[in-house]
Amino acid sequence: MTYCVGMRLNAGLVFLSDSRTNAGVDQVGTFRKMSVFELPGDRTMVMMTSGNLSISQSIRQLIADSQREDGRSIWNVASMHEAARIVGDAVRQVHAREAQALSEFGIDFNVSIIFGGQIGNERCRLFQIYSAGNFIEAHDENTYFQIGEAKYGKPIIDRVVGPATSLDDAAKCALISMDSTLRSNVSVGLPLDLLVYESGALAVTHFVTIDERNQYFQMIRNTWGDQLKRVFEGLENPVWDAAAESTAHVLHSATTTSQPVRVSPPAGFGAPAGSRTPLQTLTQQFHDGQQ
C-alpha cells in the first residue's frame, strides 16, 4: 500500500511519500513513489503515485516522453493546469492500452496521483488526479491532498496546516502524519522521500530520503508519542452525576434524563418482575449449592 501527502502553502510546497508497495510475512516490496520533473530556472514539478505500480510507472514514462501534435509537452507548457491535463491524458492513454487486459486477469485499473509544482512566474499549484484522468486543485479552503492510507495521518494535518503555515512546520506536520500511519498500518513503510519546494525557486529547495537511522525522524517518533501521553494525562477526568450545573468538566448531570436503548429479553429470562437481585455468578451458584 502507500501513503503520500502534498501540501500547498503560501511559502511553497511540501511532498512526502513512503516506499512500500506490498507487505506480507515473507514479501515486502520497496519502490519509490515520488518523481521530479525539473528544468532549473524554468519549472519544477513533483508527482507522487498510489495504486498499481505497473500502471504508475507506465504513466510516468509516458508523461516524460510524450509530445502532442502541437508540440506541447510537460517540459514546455505555460501553466501547471496544462501540465496537469497532460498527466490526466497520460492516465487515459494507459487505461485505453492496459485496462481491458488487466480486467481479464481480475485486476482493477487503480491509480491515484498528487501532482504539483511551479512554472515560471505562476504561483505554486497542487492537483489530485484520479483513475479517470480527471483532477481537482487545492485552494486555501483545502490546502493538502492525501493518497493511499490517508485516514491515520489526517487528523494532525486538519488541526495544524493552513495556507500561512511555514514550510518547516508543514514538513514537521507531514512527518508526524506519516509516523501515525506507520504505527497503525504495516502496509506503509520506510524509507520516506521528503521534498520541500520554496515558492519562486524553480528548483528543488530541500530533499531527503529518510530511513530508520535518520536522527530527526527518530526524534519525531520518540517525542510525539510521549507528548501525546502527557497531554492526555493532563486532561481532567469526566464528572458523572454532577449535582450543580456550575461544576466543571461535567459529562453527565444528575438532572440528565437520557437513557440507552434497551433490548427486552425473551420471556423467561432475567430477574422476576419487581426483583432487583443481581444475577449470581457461576462461582456463587456453585458455593450456594455446597451449603
CA atoms within 13 A on the CB side of 48: 27
pLDDT reported for residue 282:
47
Q: What is the pLDDT along the chain (291 residues), one digit of tens a residue?
A: 799 999 999 999 999 999 987 645 566 678 999 999 999 999 999 999 999 999 999 999 999 999 999 999 999 999 999 999 999 999 999 999 999 999 999 999 999 999 999 999 999 999 999 999 999 999 999 999 999 999 999 999 999 999 999 999 999 999 999 999 999 998 899 999 999 999 999 999 999 999 999 999 999 999 999 999 999 999 999 988 888 666 788 888 888 788 899 999 999 887 665 555 454 544 455 455 555
pLDDT reported for residue 24:
53
Residues in the chain: 291
Q: Which long-range contacts (CB under 8 A, 24 or more apart) does 130-134 make?
A: 130/91, 131/51, 131/91, 131/95, 132/91, 132/92, 132/95, 133/88, 133/89, 133/90, 133/91, 133/92, 133/95, 134/88
Tell the residue number behind the cell numbers 493546469, with chain if given.
Answer: 81
CA atoms within 13 A on the CB side of 181: 32
Strands (E) across 97-162 are located at: 111-119, 125-129, 135-137, 144-148
Residue ranges and CATH numbers for the domains of the chain are 3-230 (3.60.20.10)
Tell me how far CA of residue 105 lies from CA of 55, 92, 210, 273, in angstroms: 15, 20, 36, 63
The answer to whether residues 144 and 7 touch, using CB atoms and an 8 Å cutoff, is: yes
pLDDT reported for residue 243:
80
Q: Which pTM value belongs to this model?
A: 0.87
Tell me how far CA of residue 61 lies from CA of 90, 126, 142, 251, in angstroms: 9, 20, 30, 57
The answer to whether residues 170 and 161 touch, using CB atoms and an 8 Å cutoff, is: yes
pLDDT reported for residue 241:
85
10 Å CB burial of residue 111 (0-12, 13-18, 19+) is buried
The answer to whether residues 219 and 206 touch, using CB atoms and an 8 Å cutoff, is: no
